[in-house]
Amino acid sequence: MLIVIPDVLDAEQLRDCRQALEQAQWEDGRKTAGYLAVQSKRNVQLPLNSPLSQKMGEFLLRVLDDNAQFIAAALPANILPPRFNRYEGGGEYGNHIDNAIFSVPGTGERLRTDVSSTLFFSEPDEYEGGELMIEDVYGQQSIKLPAGHLVVYPGTSLHRVNPVTAGTRYASFFWTQSMVRHAHQRSVLWELDQCIQSLAKQGAHTDELARLSGVYHNLLREWAQV
């Protein structure tokens, strides 16, 4: 299940983030790559322990906590603090699947990466290439979204970032451990939630909506791990 969530950031928030990223101090992205990924990763990232990375990560977590579509799509139990990267000058990240488990910085906790997310800070016409290519059950998907838009997809997906041949691509990426571990179950709950929301906007009968909402919550009760 691949879900695009538009306008996660408003214009003012986006402008502030871009200004901060353009003035940031970056380091080689291979520092956080695994044994195999380090051979195909060419980008730069904000250091995980930098004050800017931590400040922006905390800001994005607050934004996501208020975004109903993200909550419905990911059903988050825990979110790894967001990370930030920059691609330019032919930078790319070859085909890979994200690590299954990450340690939460500064804690003894570990997080399972059920859901991967990328938030774009650059407009599509600001750079050439740089598409996020994701393999899912419907084939290969090419993702290049407007600034402030977010894509959510299963952490089990094979994916890559195509070379950025001109301009600069700024983004944030992060992982979520979902209350519902399996992607196909999250997909069912997402579709059901969206139908409920649509019917509510159309003024559907209250009793019918209550019953349908009950189906959603009973499925969530059956599948959630909390």
What is the crossing angle of helices 11-22 and 51-65, to 10°? 160
Radius of gyration for the chain, computed over Cα atoms and rounded to the nearest angstrom: 18
Q: Which of 90, 135, 94 is nearest to 116 (CA)?
A: 135
Look up residue 215 and give its two tokens.
């189906």
| Residue 65 labeled ligand binder | no
| Residue 62 labeled ligand binder | no
User: DSSP code of 39?
Assistant: G
| Residue 159 labeled ligand binder | yes
- CB 179, CB 224: distance < 8 Å: yes
Collapse the DSSP code of 226 into the 3-class scheme (helix H, G, I; strand E, B; otherwise coil) and give the result. coil
| Residue 169 labeled ligand binder | yes
Collapse the DSSP code of 79 into the 3-class scheme (helix H, G, I; strand E, B; otherwise coil) and give the result. strand
Question: How far is residue 136's CA from residue 80's CA, in Å, rounded to a whole number?
Answer: 23
- CB 121, CB 17: distance < 8 Å: yes
Residues making up the binding site for 2-oxoglutarate: 169
Residues making up the binding site for Fe cation: 96, 98, 159
Residues making up the binding site: 96, 98, 159, 169
